[in-house]
Chains A and B, each alone.
Chain A
Amino acid sequence: MDTLNFFVENDGQILQLTLEHLWLVGISMLLAVAAGLPLGILLTRRRAFSKPVIGVANIVQTIPSLALFGFLLPLPWLGERADRLAITALALYALLPVIRNTYTGILGVDPGVREAARGMGMTDRQVLLQVELPLAMGVILAGVRVATVITVGVATIAAAIGAGGLGEFIFRGLAMVDNRVILAGAIPAALLALLMDQLLGLVERMLTYAQ
């Protein structure tokens, strides 16, 4: 009851921080897909690079998020603004699932289908756009979905470096030893994660050819 009252009294700020959170996640995911998708495609064409590139992305993901924020802080352009820095770190985290799923998704396309496409005189570009990407779409979108859900969670830590978002409530609540304040950050963040998961699941079903 107490918590509910707190929510109602602070609905304006909750909404504002939720939007901020969404913005952090949205921009990070756009960057991650914009970089990860072409990179994943490139790796299927230059397979020798797949091990090192996916390895590096793997290592990035093992760095604790707070530490990653800290590492990026001294960098010249990035360190100037907290949101810039947070978005970069979040995008780096989201990169691995996007690259890996693009790579495995495309390599998972039936070689017979790819060969038929080439044998019929499709150019490399046509094979990619008309055959490989549509058939790998389910796996690629699953990667984006996982990355998005992770990013919603990790983005709460961005508040520690002053980038805003729902983490503000969580850190404030921790400092004040007030569960209501923590929940004001944690519950919307959890709901946001669930919502994004459902939404991307829907997109996945719409865009994916059913096997």
Chain B
Amino acid sequence: MSEACETVIEFRRVSFRAANGHPLLSDLSLTVRRGETLVLLGRSGSGKTTTLKLINRLLEPSAGEVQVEGRSTLEWDPIRLRRSIGYVIQEAGLFPHFTVERNVGLAPQLERWATEKIRARVREMLKLVGLPPEQFLTRHPRELSGGQRQRVGVARALASDPPLLLMDEPFGALDPLTRAEIQREFEALQGRLKKTIVFVTHDLREALLLGTRIALLEAGKLVGVFTPDEFLHAPDPTVTAYVAAFGTGNGKSHL
């Protein structure tokens, strides 16, 4: 039981300003527990992606501290830190000049695994995300559909078996049907993998489906952290506005 509450990531009063001085995140305090899926929910410009990039030190805090596994990200070697974290981003993340096999095998290759081990691992990962290896290994990203590309993106992030996964609107560019399908598959995958996941989305349905807890961000500030059940019944006006926006029909689900 105590392991379930162990803290993996901790934001301690973190602020972040863009190069032009514009504040993107102010005074954020937040913890991510081992094994949970924490969803960062919010509209465009609310600071979700900024929060995510502070974790793998693609950005560094202007004030406060982000700790990963009990150490400030600034104390980590950024390369080591990033290689211990899987990273999935929307659409563009795959390397267009690499085959699916090289894309998925990249993290293990950077970690200098033996070639045979990488080959086996890539096949295993493709099967895991529902892509028959023999059909997909030699293809390039441009020869894949949007859904297949996202599956490859997930396979790539999982390849070196990182304990922690960061996902930045990974299913955002997909059509609603493919999206629903891949969300359900991912939900099933979550249960088997037992990874700690930080998941960015603006889609409340996705947040409710995949999140253990939901952190709602608004204009660079944390509104609150809720379980999916709490979220639907929270009295906070920002939360109710969000719920209302999604309650009024599928066509308006993009905030």
A interface list, Cβ under 8 A from B: 110-113, 115-123, 126, 131, 134-135, 209, 211
Contact = CB atoms under 8 A, between A and B. Distances in A.
A112 B97 contact: no
B93 A112 contact: yes
B79 A116 contact: no
A211 B93 CA distance: 15
B244 to A, nearest CB: 32
Nearest to A134: B97
B83 A113 contact: no
Contact of B106 (A111, A120, A123): A120
Interface residues of B, number: 25
A121 B58 contact: no
A89 B93 CA distance: 43
Nearest to A112: B92
B93 A116 contact: yes
B158 interface: no
Contacts, number: 59
Q: Is the interface of A mostly helix, strand, loop or mixed?
A: helix
9 contacts: A112-B91, A112-B92, A116-B87, A118-B58, A120-B107, A120-B110, A121-B107, A121-B110, A122-B110
B79 A117 contact: no
B79 A123 contact: yes
A1 B58 CA distance: 71
B89 A112 contact: yes
Interface string B54-84: 0010100000000000000000001111110
A126 B110 contact: yes
B92 A121 contact: no
B132 interface: no
Given A112-B92, A121-B83, 15 more contacts: A110-B92, A112-B91, A116-B87, A116-B92, A116-B93, A119-B58, A120-B106, A121-B80, A121-B107, A121-B110, A122-B79, A126-B110, A131-B95, A134-B97, A135-B97
A119 B97 contact: no
A131 B110 CA distance: 13
A116 B97 contact: no
B100 to A, nearest CB: 14
Q: Which 5 A-B pairs have the closest CB atoms?
A: A112-B92, A121-B83, A121-B82, A209-B97, A116-B93
A113 to B, nearest CB: 6
**Taking each of A110, A120, A126, which has the highest tally of chain B beta carbons within 10 Å of its own beta carbon?**
A120
